């Protein structure tokens, strides 16, 4: 029985898939501070124009430049595994497959877009890229990509994760990147927050503000900002995951996937695996597609679909998305990459359109699932990935109850070797499950009062 499926280098997908071309209703545009749609020019101080063009593209298939493929070949195509040992432990009739994105040098899916973004920035003549990072996966990936392509990299890392994961900084430094805890005293946005809340654990929203500020205030014009998730072009670069998975399933004669699962913070690893299957669903296939989030940061399951900023300092355009409000500071759970108030517009819209069925899960159930996975499949997952695994286990148990031989596919988005503090707390019984009180969400949502509202979907039309 094959337990993993490889593709050869010449079988790697040579185009990314753009879901924007296929959504039943068009995406609503990002808005500027005046409430009018922003133009590409307005984003030019933040991103290079070649990526802005990708961000607004309506092309279904976008060619992957050969030089990017050459870098991705270092670890791609990533293996597809069948989780035969987990299946056995669960005594489920379901077949469980996972795409193993932990095999990249930084250990997650993040380099898929880090390499692409660094490459496009370099093509555009940019010398330095700034960014934020939550758990550190993205900051490590961008440091890695910049190192390979000879660019400078500066990373603002959310304070709580910076403290929980002291070695992430060294990892980035080994790849030549510079990492500081956010909020920092290096930006106005950071200083403002520190003055108000000196002991804040930080948030991705704050770190984004700092990174954008450093990019746009560089007078030489050779610095740009890169975002590790949320935006259309970032999700686009990740679709190589799902496109590879399809080829791999085809190779072993697996014709139909019943359930597709991934964890979702900003949404990029989930989208990367799921969007090619969302396409199938749009075209009539019966598939349950499940993005999973922490109960403590319930963007998909409890937050409204609104226009909101991607960051605390309101430096980003207004994006049409599910949001808990840009001031929301999520509880200090260990899945740092899922501590984000917003959600990718493409993913938000797929939820609005009824194409996805989001779930939220508490962190203790996630760690229990992670430990079961480690003791059966053998790989220690990132705390973010544990949310996907917990959902897979629920689905596999459901398949057993229903007596159905379902095919479940999920994204093993990253390994947890840099995130063992959370496991340690779990083993010592010190992990808390945070159920966010409704009044906290409502309080946080006050920050979006007065902002423009997106159109609502009625009978399949805006």
Which residues make up the interface to a second copy (CB under 8 A)? 2-4, 6, 8-9, 70, 73-74, 81, 85, 103, 105, 107, 144, 147-148, 167, 170-171, 173-176, 370-371, 374-380, 417-418, 420-421, 423-424, 427
Q: What's the closest the beta carbon of residue 388 comes to a second copy, in angstroms?
A: 17
Q: What's the closest the beta carbon of residue 170 comes to a second copy, in angstroms?
A: 4
Q: Is 72 exposed, middle or buried (0-12, 13-18, 19+ CB in 10 A)?
A: buried
Which residue's CB is nearer to a second copy, number 282 or number 371?
371
Q: What's the closest the beta carbon of residue 28 comes to a second copy, in angstroms?
A: 39
Q: What's the closest the beta carbon of residue 427 comes to a second copy, in angstroms?
A: 6
For residue 444, give every residue at least 6 positions away whose Cβ sits within 8 Å of its Cβ, in sequence order, or none: 324, 325, 327, 328, 341
Which residue's CB is nearer to a second copy, number 77 or number 342?
77
| H/E element, 195 | helix 188-196
Which residue's CB is nearer to a second copy, number 153 or number 235?
153
For residue 115, the tally of other CB atoms under 10 A from its CB is 27
Q: What's the closest the beta carbon of residue 444 comes to a second copy, in angstroms?
A: 33
Q: What's the closest the beta carbon of residue 90 comes to a second copy, in angstroms?
A: 16
List the one residue out of 316, 336, 334, 335 whose CA is nearest residue 326: 316
Separation CA 211–CA 205 (nearest Å): 10
Which residue's CB is nearer to a second copy, number 322 or number 415?
415
Which residue's CB is nearer to a second copy, number 130 or number 147?
147
For residue 278, give every residue at least 6 positions away whose Cβ sits within 8 Å of its Cβ, in sequence order, or none: 19, 22, 289, 350, 355, 356
Which residue's CB is nearer to a second copy, number 58 or number 173?
173
List the one residue out of 69, 75, 70 whose CA is nearest residue 106: 75
Structure tokens at 316: 């980003």
Which residue's CB is nearer to a second copy, number 3 or number 197?
3
Q: What's the closest the beta carbon of residue 5 comes to a second copy, in angstroms?
A: 9
Decide: 66 and 18 in contact? Cβ < 8 Å. Answer: no
Separation CA 47–CA 31 (nearest Å): 16
| H/E element, 321 | strand 318-322
Q: Can you give the length of the chain in residues?
A: 462
Q: What's the closest the beta carbon of residue 436 comes to a second copy, in angstroms?
A: 28
Which residue's CB is nearer to a second copy, number 91 or number 449?
91
Decide: 157 and 186 in contact? Cβ < 8 Å. Answer: no
């Amino acid at each position: 029985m094959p337990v993993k499926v490889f593709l050869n280098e010449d079988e790697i997908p040579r185009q990314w898939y753009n879901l924007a071309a296929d959504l039943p209703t068009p995406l609503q545009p990002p808005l500027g501070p005046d409430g009018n749609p922003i133009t590409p020019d307005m984003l030019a101080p933040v991103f290079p124009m070649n990526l802005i063009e990708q961000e607004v593209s309506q092309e279904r298939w976008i060619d992957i430049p050969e030089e990017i493929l050459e870098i991705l070949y270092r670890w791609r195509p990533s293996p597809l595994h069948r989780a035969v040992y987990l299946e056995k432990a669960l005594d489920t009739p379901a077949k469980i497959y996972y795409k193993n994105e932990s095999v990249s040098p930084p250990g997650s899916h993040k380099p898929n877009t880090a390499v692409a973004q660094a490459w496009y920035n370099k093509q555009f003549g940019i010398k330095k890229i700034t960014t934020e990072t939550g758990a550190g996966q993205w900051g490590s990936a961008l440091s890695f990509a910049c190192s390979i392509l000879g660019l400078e990299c500066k990373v603002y890392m959310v304070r709580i994760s910076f403290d929980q994961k002291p070695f992430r900084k060294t990892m980035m430094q080994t790849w030549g990147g510079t990492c500081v805890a956010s909020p920092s005293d290096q930006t106005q946005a950071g200083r403002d927050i520190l003055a108000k809340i000196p002991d804040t654990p930080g948030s991705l929203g704050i770190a984004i503000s700092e990174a954008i500020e450093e990019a746009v205030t560089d007078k030489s014009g050779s610095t740009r900002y890169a975002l590790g998730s949320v935006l259309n072009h970032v999700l686009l670069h990740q679709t190589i995951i799902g496109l590879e998975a399809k080829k791999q399933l085809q190779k072993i004669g697996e014709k139909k996937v019943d359930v597709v699962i991934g964890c979702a913070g900003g949404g990029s690893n989930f989208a990367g695996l799921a969007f090619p299957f969302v396409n199938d669903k749009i075209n009539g296939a019966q598939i349950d597609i499940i993005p999973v989030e922490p109960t403590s940061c319930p963007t998909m399951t409890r937050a409204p679909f609104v226009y909101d900023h991607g960051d605390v300092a309101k430096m980003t355009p207004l994006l049409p998305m599910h949001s808990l409000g840009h001031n929301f500071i999520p509880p200090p759970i260990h899945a740092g990459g899922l501590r984000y108030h917003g959600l990718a517009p493409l993913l938000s819209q797929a939820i609005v359109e009824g194409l996805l069925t989001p779930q939220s899960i508490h962190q203790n159930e996630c760690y229990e699932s992670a430990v079961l996975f480690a003791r059966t499949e053998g790989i220690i997952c990132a705390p973010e990935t544990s949310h996907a695994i917990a959902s897979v286990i629920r689905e596999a148990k459901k398949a057993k109850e229903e007596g159905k031989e379902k095919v479940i596919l999920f994204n093993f988005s990253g390994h947890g070797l840099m995130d063992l503090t959370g496991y340690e707390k779990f083993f010592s019984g010190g992990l808390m499950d945070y159920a966010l009180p409704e009044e906290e969400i409502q309080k946080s949502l006050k920050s979006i009062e007065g902002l423009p509202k997106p159109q609502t979907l009625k009978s399949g039309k805006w």
